[in-house]
Amino acid sequence: MKGSQLGRKVLAMLVALLASAAMSFSTIGLVSASSEEERDTAGPIDAGDGATSSSVVVPPWCAWYLNGSAESIDLSPALVAGTEPKYIGEALTVSADSPDMYAYIGSEVAQTEAMAADNCSWFGATPWNAEFTVEIDGTAFVANTSGGARDAAMDFSVTDEEPISITPAFTDCGPGFTEGPASQLPEAGGILSANVWTNTSGQTNDFCNFRFSYSVTIPANLVPSYGGTTYIWTGPNITHTVTVTDPDAGA
């Protein structure tokens, strides 16, 4: 009996020891599993993301504009004591003024004053230059009566000695404009065009308001075929041109 009891005690101890060993093994196993999990999550951790954005106004590209040019130029003699003088075989000067004209750098058409400096941009490119010229396409003035009768005896032509006078007047023009002198066309040698102004500044709101006075003298000693009528002379076309150039073109 004692032996049997001792055997049971020993067996119980062995079972207890084995259980303890098993528990210890299981504990070691749990610690090992915990260490592996920490290694798996080491390094960058995704914490979410967000988009970025920005809003900035971009102005239009700058450009050159010209408006206000007259479609026709009607010359007439200056009044004398409130009365329009008549042609009686003596030289008679006739003249006219153009409407105001506007040349400018900007981003909108039909402006009559300088725009804001940030209205447009050259975006780092070299600003374009501009040159304004006036040109006549001939020298002859052809005569007809107001009734439509042609009269070659009253025709005449302008020359460098009796030219068309084209005188510019500048107001409110920016410092980038270089103003030219009055023109007498044709010039000696038959030159029919002249420079009025140039601009190489490229400011984003450069502006110039200008106009012209035109005059021509009907020569003396013309003998009309018809009396008691009004004569109408049709002269050369006067063309105003703005030539815009890109300084970097062909570079």
Instruction: Report if residue 46 sits inside a domain.
Output: no
pLDDT band for 55, please (50, 70, 90 cuts). very high
Q: Which residue has the higher pLDDT, 198 or 248?
A: 198
Is residue 194 over pLDDT 80? yes
Q: Which residue has the higher pLDDT, 5 or 232?
A: 232
**Distance (Å, whole) CA 5 – CA 3:** 5
Instruction: Report if residue 41 sits inside a domain.
Output: no
Instruction: Report if residue 250 sits inside a domain.
Output: no
Instruction: Report if residue 22 sits inside a domain.
Output: no
pLDDT band for 47, please (50, 70, 90 cuts). confident
Q: Which residue has the higher pLDDT, 40 or 161?
A: 161
Number of folded domains that form the chain = 1
Query: Is the preceding omega at residue 236 within 30 degrees of 0, hence cis?
Result: no
At 114-131, the pLDDT tens digits run 999 999 999 999 999 999
Q: What integer pLDDT is reported at residue 215 of this predicted model?
A: 97
Instruction: Report if residue 99 sits inside a domain.
Output: yes
**Distance (Å, whole) CA 98 – CA 240:** 12
Q: What integer pLDDT is reported at residue 71 of this predicted model?
A: 82
pLDDT band for 61, please (50, 70, 90 cuts). very high
Domain, as residue range, for 168: 63-245
Instruction: Report if residue 24 sits inside a domain.
Output: no
Is residue 101 over pLDDT 50? yes
Instruction: Give the predicted TM-score (pTM) of the model.
Output: 0.75
86-124 per-residue burial string, b: 16 or more CB within 10 A, e: under 16? ebeeeebebbeebeebbbbbbbeeebeebbeeebbeeee
